[in-house]
Amino acid sequence: MVQKSLVLLKPDAVRRGITGEVLDRFEQTGLKIIGAKLLNAADPEVSHKHYYKDEEWHKKVGELNLKDCADLELDPMDIFGTKDAVEIGRIVNEWLFAYVEKGPIFAFVFEGPHAVEKIRSLVGPTYPVTAPPGTIRGDYGLDSTVTSLQRKRAVYNLIHASGTPEEAEYEIGLWFKPEELISYRRPEEDVYQY
């Protein structure tokens, strides 16, 4: 099943100069780049459409942050100014917007068999501190939940990767015009006929 997927190398990845190493990991697995662009920062209109979250997400993320605060012995009132889970989720959502709007973004569209699943596997879990070695976040991530909470910002986790084929289609449409995507064949495509 050939799929397309969006990958965003976030400001922390671009500024650290690890874009080539990260892209190499994807290309070595047979994925091909069919779209790429370097941006000064995410356009606020695009970032708000990309990271817009609903009330259910706000509540879930707020509850997770309340649990993190309790586990780390941090006062949510000092960090968020509230103990309301939904409001905390909204604040975290704003932190996500600010994160991608503050610096350079390298946006890519990859194509290949099971691209969405393959990319998610290579990227690893959301939080670098819990991402296993061998994943991009596990090998290159430096940030932690405690640091992000203390600094009142999103966790710097280097990269975004679409979670489902439907999400990929939507996200690609936000970041790329159809004419910005190209089509070509890599040599192994002829061998494996995909």
Residue 105 · residue 186 · CB < 8 Å: no
As a whole number of angstroms, the distance between CA 50 and CA 30 comes to: 27
The yes/no answer on whether domain 2-41+103-192 falls in CATH 3.30.70.141 is: yes
As a whole number of angstroms, the distance between CA 29 and CA 117 comes to: 12
Provide the annotated active-site residues.
160
Residue 125 · residue 145 · CB < 8 Å: no
As a whole number of angstroms, the distance between CA 2 and CA 111 comes to: 7
User: Residue ranges of the domains in the chain?
Assistant: 2-41+103-192, 54-101
List per-residue pLDDT tens for the chain, 194 residues long. 899 999 999 999 999 999 999 999 999 999 999 999 999 999 999 999 999 889 999 999 999 999 999 999 999 999 999 999 999 999 999 999 999 999 999 999 999 999 999 999 999 999 999 999 999 999 999 999 999 999 999 999 999 999 999 999 999 999 999 999 999 988 877 776 65
Q: Where are the alpha helices (DSSP H) in the chain?
A: 11-16, 19-28, 44-50, 55-71, 76-80, 85-101, 115-123, 136-140, 145-151, 165-175, 187-192
